Chains A and B, each alone.
Chain A
Amino acid sequence: GAVVSQHPSWVICKSGTSVKIECRSLDFQATTMFWYRQFPKQSLMLMATSNEGSKATYEQGVEKDKFLINHASLTLSTLTVTSAHPEDSSFYICSAPLRYLSYGYTFGSGTRLTVV
């Protein structure tokens, strides 16, 4: 089936540094990628929607300059957390709708970010 490969699965970084998270669609073309953030024991909260070849759409309250999204190809979308702070520590998950929605949406395995 269609798979989204997300890397890294976990990362620890120092405050002030930047971290890049990659999501690759392995056997399908992802023209759209959704980026979610999930805090412990909470649901997934949509941060932004990236579309191949165009600017990402950010949800209200999400800083676009802090969470840089790039979707330069049909198989790769990246989220860069810039100047990370401890409050950015969270579980980040990407998801792509499959070409035919009857096939649903596929999720990456998530990235656990810890900022120290």
Chain B
Amino acid sequence: GQQLNQSPQSMFIQEGEDVSMNCTSSSIFNTWLWYKQDPGEGPVLLIALYKAGELTSNGRLTAQFGITRKDSFLNISASIPSDVGIYFCAGRGRGAGNMLTFGGGTRLMVKP
């Protein structure tokens, strides 16, 4: 089945630093989504991408849908302590109906 490789698996950064994480796939996705999950909670949508090459921002977050449709990145600028959590990419591929495939997650830790 389709798989997403998300990296890095974890990051420990200083408050104020920028963060970058990415997901790659061996197959094409038509939709890329980025979620954040806090402990004991369900994922919350951060950014949704629907077109190859699309670059979308949401406050300090910026995500891009790769031209090849096989990758996406998420950047967080000027990190703050509340950015701590697990970030997941998710993709919806051709013929997958509404089903999402999730990356393995990036655990972000921010040192004040």
Chain A interface residues toward B at CB < 8 A: 6, 9, 32, 34, 41-46, 49, 91, 93, 95, 97, 101-102, 104-110, 112
Q: Distance in Å from the Cβ of B37 to the closest Cβ of chain A?
A: 9
Can you name the residue of chain A whose Cβ is closest to the Cβ of B35? Answer: A107
Q: Is the CB of B99 within 8 A of A34?
A: yes
Given contacts A44-B43, A110-B42, contact A104 B33 (CB under 8 A): yes
Q: Is the CB of A108 within 8 A of B42?
A: yes
0 or 1 for each of B92-112: is its CB under 8 Å from A? (1 = yes): 100000111011110100000
Q: Is the CB of B98 within 8 A of A106?
A: no
Question: Chain B: interface residue count, which band?
Answer: 20 to 34
Q: Is the CB of A93 within 8 A of B43?
A: yes
6 contacts between A and B (CB under 8 A): A43-B102, A43-B105, A44-B102, A49-B99, A102-B50, A109-B41
Q: Distance in Å from the Cβ of A105 to the closest Cβ of chain B?
A: 6
Contact of A107 among B44, B92, B105 (CB under 8 A): B44
B73 at the interface (CB under 8 A from A): no
Q: Distance in Å from the Cβ of B108 to the closest Cβ of chain A?
A: 13
Q: Is the CB of B99 within 8 A of A110?
A: no
Can you name the residue of chain B whose Cβ is closest to the Cβ of A96? Answer: B98
Q: Is the CB of A93 within 8 A of B42?
A: yes
Can you name the residue of chain B whose Cβ is closest to the Cβ of A60? Answer: B1
Q: Is the CB of B43 within 8 A of A101?
A: no
Can you name the residue of chain A whose Cβ is closest to the Cβ of B104? Answer: A43
Contact of B98 among A6, A32, A44, A110 (CB under 8 A): A32
Taken together as a complex, chains A and B put the C-alpha atoms of A48 and B99 apart, in Å, by 10
Q: Which of B71-101 contact A (CB under 8 A)?
A: 88, 90, 92, 98-100
Q: Is the CB of A104 within 8 A of B99?
A: no
Q: Distance in Å from the Cβ of B16 to the closest Cβ of chain A?
A: 26
Q: Which of B27-74 contact A (CB under 8 A)?
A: 31, 33, 35, 40-45, 48, 50
